[in-house]
Amino acid sequence: MALLEVNDLTVSYPARAGAVPAVRGVDLTLEPGDTLGLAGESGCGKSTMAAAVLRLLPPGTTTTGTVLLEGEDVLTMRPGRLRAVRWTEAAVVFQGAMHALNPVRRVGDQIAEAIQLHDKVGDRQAATRVGELLEQVGLPARRAPSYPHELSGGQRQRVMIAMALACSPRLLIADEPTTALDVMVQAQVLTLLEELGRELGLALLLITHDLSVLASTCERIAVMYAGRIVEEGPAATVFEAPAHPYTRALAEAFPTIGDTASRRNPHGLGGDPPDPRDLPSGCEFHPRCPVSIAVCPTLDAELWPAGEGRRAACVHVRDGHPELVRQVPPMPVGEDFPAHRGVAT
Amino acid sequence: MTQPTIEEPLGGAPQTDLTLPPALPPQLSPRAIARARRRQAAGRAWSEYRRNSIGMVGLAILVLFVAMAVFAPVLVPASKLDVTKATGTPFSPPSAEFPLGTDESGRSVLALTIWGSRVSLLVGFLASVISVVIGSVVGIAAGHFGRWTDSVLMRVTDWFLVIPFLPLAIVLATVLGPSLANIAFVIGITSWPGTARIVRAQALAVTSRPYIERARALGAGDWHLITRHVLPNVVPLIFANTVLIVAVAILSETTLAFLGLGDPLRVSWGSMLDSAFTQGAASIGAWWYLVPPGVAILLVVLAFTMIGQALESVLNPRLRGR
Amino acid sequence: MTATQPAPSDAQPGQGPILEVRDLYVHFGARRGKGPTARAVDGVDLQVQPGEIVALAGESGCGKTSLARAILGLVEPTSGQVLYRGKPIGRGTSALKPYRREVQLVLQDPTGALNPRQSVYESVAEGLRIHGVKGDEETLVADALARSGLRPPRRFFLAYPYELSGGQRQRVVIAGALALEPSMLVADEPVSSLDASVRGEILALLLGLVRDLGLSILVVTHDLGLAWNIADRLAVMYLGRIVEQGPTETVLAAPRHPYTRALLSVVPEVHHLETQILTGEPPDPTRVPGGCRFHPRCPALASGAAAAAGIDDRCRNEAVPILRGVAEHHAACFLTDESVKKESGSRVGR
Q: CB distance from A335 to chain B under 8 Å?
A: yes
Using CB atoms, pick whichever of C195, C249, C264 lies closest to residue A42: C195
What does the mean pLDDT of chain A come to?
Answer: 84
Q: Does the pLDDT of residue A344 top 60, yes or no?
A: no
The pLDDT confidence band at residue B305, using thresholds 50, 70 and 90, is confident
Contact between chains at A339 and B15 (C-beta distance less than 8 A): no
Tell me which DSSP letter residue C319 carries: P
- pLDDT score recorded for residue B13: 31
Using CB atoms, pick whichever of A278, A335, A339 lies closest to residue B12: A339
Which is higher by pLDDT, C292 or C216? C216
DSSP H or E stretch at residue C104: strand C103-106
SS3 state of residue A314: coil
Q: CB distance from A82 to chain B under 8 Å?
A: no
Q: CB distance from C75 to chain B under 8 Å?
A: no
Which strands, in side-by-side order, build the sheet including A62-69? Answer: A20-30, A4-13, A62-69, A72-73
Q: CB distance from C132 to chain B under 8 Å?
A: no
For residue C267, the chain A residue with the least C-alpha distance is: A183
Please tell me the distance in Å from B114's CA to the nearest CA on chain C. Answer: 43
For residue B321, the chain C residue with the least C-alpha distance is: C116
**Least-confidence region, from A18-27, A63-72, B20-29, B241-250:** B20-29
Contact between chains at C105 and B210 (C-beta distance less than 8 A): no
Strand partners, C188: C220
Count of A-B CB contacts under 8 Å: 22
For residue B22, the chain C residue with the least C-alpha distance is: C155
The pLDDT confidence band at residue B24, using thresholds 50, 70 and 90, is low
Interface test with C, best of B1, B2, B3, B6 (most C CBs within 10 A): B6
- pLDDT score recorded for residue C329: 87
Interface test with C, best of B145, B211, B237, B322 (most C CBs within 10 A): B211
Please tell me the distance in Å from B14's CA to the nearest CA on chain A. Answer: 7
Contact between chains at A341 and B19 (C-beta distance less than 8 A): no
Contact between chains at B219 and C101 (C-beta distance less than 8 A): yes
Contact between chains at A337 and B18 (C-beta distance less than 8 A): no
Instruction: Identify the burial level of A285 via C-beta atoms within 10 angstroms of its C-beta, where 0-12 means exposed, 13-18 middle and 19 or more buried.
Output: buried
Using CA atoms of C244, C247, C252, C254 in order, give the dihedral in degrees to the nearest 10: -80
pLDDT average, residue stretch A240-255 = 88
- pLDDT score recorded for residue C342: 60
Percent of chain C with pLDDT over 90: 30
Using CB atoms, pick whichever of B12, B18, B19 lies closest to residue A340: B12
DSSP H helical ranges for chain C: 64-71, 93-102, 110-113, 120-131, 137-147, 166-178, 196-213, 224-230, 248-253, 258-265, 299-302, 305-309, 312-317, 338-342
Strand partners, C8: none
Please tell me the distance in Å from B55's CA to the nearest CA on chain C. Answer: 25
- pLDDT score recorded for residue C172: 92
Q: Does the pLDDT of residue B318 top 80, yes or no?
A: no
For residue A334, the chain B residue with the least C-alpha distance is: B10
pLDDT in tens, B193-209: 988 999 999 999 888 88
Contacts of A341 in chain B (CB under 8 A): 9, 13, 15, 17-18
Interface test with B, best of C99, C151, C164 (most B CBs within 10 A): C151
Contacts of B11 in chain A (CB under 8 A): 336-339
Q: CB distance from A341 to chain B under 8 Å?
A: yes
Q: What is the DSSP code string of C255-287?
A: --SHHHHHHHHTSTT--SS---PPPSPPPPTTS
Q: CB distance from C252 to chain A under 8 Å?
A: yes
The pLDDT confidence band at residue A338, using thresholds 50, 70 and 90, is very low
Chains contacting C with at least 3 CB pairs below 8 Å?
A: A, B
Count of A-C CB contacts under 8 Å: 165
From chain B, which residues contact C within 8 Å (Cβ)? 6-10, 14-16, 18-21, 23-24, 29-30, 33-34, 37, 209-211, 213-222, 224, 228-229, 232-233, 321-322
Strand partners, A39: A208, A223
Q: CB distance from C178 to chain B under 8 Å?
A: no
- pLDDT score recorded for residue C34: 65
Q: Does the pLDDT of residue A180 top 80, yes or no?
A: no
Question: Minimal CA–CA distance to C200: which of C238, C230, C241?
Answer: C230
Q: Does the pLDDT of residue C205 top 60, yes or no?
A: yes
Using CB atoms, pick whichever of C196, C222, C228 lies closest to residue A257: C228
pLDDT in tens, C178-187: 999 999 999 9
pLDDT average, residue stretch C37-64 = 90
CB contact at 8 A, C21 and C46: yes
Interface test with A, best of B1, B3, B10 (most A CBs within 10 A): B10
Q: Does the pLDDT of residue C349 top 50, yes or no?
A: no
pLDDT in tens, B103-153: 888 888 888 888 888 888 888 889 999 999 999 999 999 988 878 899 999
Contact between chains at C270 and A336 (C-beta distance less than 8 A): no
CB contact at 8 A, C80 and C22: yes
pLDDT in tens, A84-141: 888 888 888 877 766 788 888 999 998 998 888 888 888 888 899 999 899 888 888 8
The pLDDT confidence band at residue C221, using thresholds 50, 70 and 90, is very high
Using CB atoms, pick whichever of C204, C224, C272 lies closest to residue A334: C204
Q: What is the ipTM of this complex?
A: 0.81
CB contact at 8 A, B52 and B310: yes
Q: CB distance from C263 to chain A under 8 Å?
A: yes
Q: Does the pLDDT of residue B1 top 70, yes or no?
A: no
Contacts of B15 in chain C (CB under 8 A): 150-152, 155-156
Determine the distance from the C-alpha atom of residue A150 to the mean position of all C-alpha atoms in its chain, rounded to a whole number: 29
pLDDT in tens, A49-60: 888 888 888 888
Q: CB distance from A16 to chain B under 8 Å?
A: no
Strand partners, C189: none
pLDDT average, residue stretch B241-261 = 85
Any idea where the domains of chain A sit in the sequence? 242-327
CA distances from B304 to A85, B65, C12, C176 (A): 51, 11, 71, 43
How many Å from the N-terminal Cα to the C-terminal Cα in chain C? Answer: 50
CA geometry: angle at B117 spanning B114 and B118, to 5°? 105
pLDDT in tens, C52-62: 999 999 988 88
Using CB atoms, pick whichever of A154, A256, A261 lies closest to residue C281: A154
Please tell me the distance in Å from C142's CA to the nearest CA on chain A. Answer: 14
CB contact at 8 A, C230 and C202: no
pLDDT average, residue stretch B277-295 = 84
For residue A274, the chain B residue with the least C-alpha distance is: B18
| Calpha distance C116→C126 (Å, rounded) | 14
Q: Does the pLDDT of residue A167 top 50, yes or no?
A: yes
Percent of chain C with pLDDT over 70: 90
pLDDT in tens, C13-29: 457 888 999 999 999 87
- pLDDT score recorded for residue C3: 41
| Calpha distance A116→A125 (Å, rounded) | 10
SS3 state of residue A10: strand
Q: Does the pLDDT of residue A224 top 90, yes or no?
A: yes
Q: Does the pLDDT of residue A210 top 70, yes or no?
A: yes
Chains contacting B with at least 3 CB pairs below 8 Å?
A: A, C
Using CB atoms, pick whichever of A278, A339, A345 lies closest to residue B13: A339
Question: Minimal CA–CA distance to C183: which of C284, C294, C85?
Answer: C85
Which is higher by pLDDT, A332 or B267? B267
Contacts of A329 in chain C (CB under 8 A): 3
Please tell me the distance in Å from C177's CA to the nearest CA on chain A. Answer: 16
Contact between chains at B322 and C116 (C-beta distance less than 8 A): yes
Residues 162-181, chain C, touching A (beta carbon < 8 A): 165-168, 171
**Least-confidence region, from A193-197, A244-248, A332-336, B207-211:** A332-336
| Calpha distance C58→C56 (Å, rounded) | 7
For residue A336, the chain C residue with the least C-alpha distance is: C1
